[in-house]
Structure 1
Amino acid sequence: MFRRTDRRNQDHGTGPAAEALRLVKVTKTYGGAENAVTALDGVTLALPRGTFTAVMGPSGSGKSTLLQCAAGLDRPDSGIVLVDGAEMTGGTEAELTKFRRNRIGFIFQQYNLLDTLTVAQNTILPLKLARRRVNRARVEEILTAVGLGDRLGHRPDQLSGGQRQRVAIARALITEPSVIFADEPTGALDTRSARDILRLLQETVRVHGRTVVMVTHDPVAASYADSVMFLADGRLAGEMHRPTVDAVAEALAHLGDDVMAGV
């Protein structure tokens, strides 16, 4: 069952509804009693609407698990996840699927496009799955905005890696989600394509008003975000606003030091 928090202050940009994402004491453990690994250890955070946040940390820090639990791809063992003021934790698998389709967009490193579908067909797939009406003019508008207005009939094998990721961004935007989760979205791209995709993610926030949460290991990618959250051993280890490449790299090198608390 999905419970909604008080939204009376939404129009004034204050109160719970001003938050796109909130996690409260979220914990996730994998494995049995003797071999248990705590991937998330009571993580609590809140992200305002219309922001671009990068999540960073060493391998095994819990950043991918954080994304999966926050996006509803995996269930936490305990804790609460709220998206746009509505609680996602709890409920049946069918309810969780409906919740994701209505409120969440995804961008993956390997694009996750269907080779047999055109650019336009891949873009509208979430609408088809949710049995929602397709506005063809809106589809063309979004694909034009991501630079693919002349590629609507092309298939993925006719596109470059950067163009495929642009389709993935358009697909994430088409349902007008509250939050878009991006998992290493530039990991498979060359430097120029990666830079273009990161700028598109910025536009997704600044022009379309979406909230983007991006998991990345790359300080350059993180520098495009408004802020960076650092994870270590399944816990939040610090936060940085207005990140720069050098500052992020330095923070990662000292992750876990006491100084991280004041980054």
Structure 2
Amino acid sequence: MSAAFRAARPIPAEAPAAAVRLEGVSRTYGRGAGAVHALRDVDAAFPRGTFTAVMGPSGSGKSTLLQCAAGLDRPTAGTVRLGTADLTRMGETQLAKIRRERVGFVFQAFNLLPSLTVGQNITLPLRLAGRRADRAWLREVVARVGLADRTGHRPAELSGGQQQRVAVARALVTRPDVVFADEPTGALDPDTARDILGLLRTAVADLGQTVIMVTHDPVAAAHTDAAVFLCGGRIAGHLAAPTADEVTRRLSALRGAA
């Protein structure tokens, strides 16, 4: 069985530590008859150095899974581990430190600060953490995302695709354990989206990065090692080396069952 397929399967306690592991994770919003069960007893593990798509119909729980896995939201029950660190036992100060130092984020909205240059936006997580930039690593990241001649520009001077490249570089510059991407190509045209997915693919293949990406796009999923499908807050299937056609079929079946 390939490492890509194992990326979404629960793994036994004796297996090597995953980059991210969820065990029995549930997330409920509200109480009583109006309660929304966004996640229900989810087990999932994502080995280091893999690129995984998290997919499902609207309301399936995919964004909630990402938020819990990244320490942005607390599960109602269960355990979330980043490496060996148990996020569910941490206070807000500890979680904020983990997110600054060990997690990278790429969102559909680029979330760049308009008053800062490209270079300043990229190194912002390091500045917030009180760390100096590794200049050689910074040069490599900037070169890999194709922004070596844009570091002095401000976001308003860039195209949407270039702004998302800045966001990818910002996510990589801290050498995080995991990059979480939530619909990172949702606001981009198809050609630019393909470029951004290629960057994330390269980060995994060449830099050993772990990427977990929420997406609704079968074409985006086809760039990953594995796809995890959710429906009704539960894991509803896995697919190794996904193709756009097979992902489309899986999603159609899940929509019919939702």
TM-score, normalised to structure 2, is 0.92
- Percentage of matched positions with identical amino acids: 58
Residues of 2 paired with 1:65 and 1:163: CA distance?
Answer: 28
The DSSP-based 3-state class of the residue aligned with 1:53 is: strand
- Pairing 1:10-25 to 2, within 5 Å after superposition: 16-25=15-24
**What is the Cα-based RMSD across aligned positions, in Å?**
1.5
Give the structure 2 partner of residue 58 of structure 1. Answer: 57
Q: Cα deviations across residues 32-76 of structure 1 (Å, max 9, x unaligned)?
A: 212001000010011111000000000100001000000011111
Structure 2 letter corresponding to 1:109? Q
Contact kept, 8 Å, 1:237 with 1:256, in 2: the verdict is: no
Q: CA deviation at 1:139?
A: 1.7
Structure 1 residues without counterparts, runs of 5 or longer: 1-13, 259-263
TM-score, normalised to structure 1, is 0.90
User: Which has the higher relative contact order, 1 or 2, with Cα contacts under 8 A spaced 6 or more apart?
Assistant: 2
Contact kept, 8 Å, 2:171 with 2:179, in 1: the verdict is: yes
Give the structure 1 partner of residue 5 of structure 2. Answer: none
Structure 1 letter corresponding to 2:220? A
Residues of 2 paired with 1:91 and 1:80: CA distance?
Answer: 11
Structure 1 letter corresponding to 2:112? L
- Pairing 1:94-109 to 2, within 5 Å after superposition: 94-109=93-108
Residues of 2 paired with 1:132 and 1:112: CA distance?
Answer: 21
Structure 1 segments (4+ residues) deviating >3 Å:
14-18
Does 2:115 correspond to 1:92?
no
Give the structure 1 partner of residue 165 of structure 2. Answer: 166
Give the structure 2 partner of residue 191 of structure 1. Answer: 190
Q: Cα deviations across residues 207-262 of structure 1 (Å, max 9, x unaligned)?
A: 1101000000000001101000000000000000010010000111112789xxxx
Give the structure 1 partner of residue 224 of structure 2. Answer: 225
The DSSP-based 3-state class of the residue aligned with 1:214 is: strand
Give the structure 2 partner of residue 237 of structure 1. Answer: 236
Structure 2 letter corresponding to 1:175? T
Residues of 1 paired with 2:88 and 2:100: CA distance?
Answer: 15
The DSSP-based 3-state class of the residue aligned with 1:239 is: strand
Give the structure 2 partner of residue 41 of structure 1. Answer: 40
Q: Cα deviations across residues 171-220 of structure 1 (Å, max 9, x unaligned)?
A: 00011011100000000000100000001010010111010000000000
Structure 2 residues without counterparts, runs of 5 or longer: 1-12
Contact kept, 8 Å, 1:28 with 1:78, in 2: the verdict is: yes
Bigger drift between 133-142 and 183-192 goes to 133-142
Contact kept, 8 Å, 1:17 with 1:84, in 2: the verdict is: no
What count of residue pairs does the alignment treat as equivalent?
Answer: 245
The DSSP-based 3-state class of the residue aligned with 1:117 is: coil
Give the structure 2 partner of residue 8 of structure 1. Answer: none
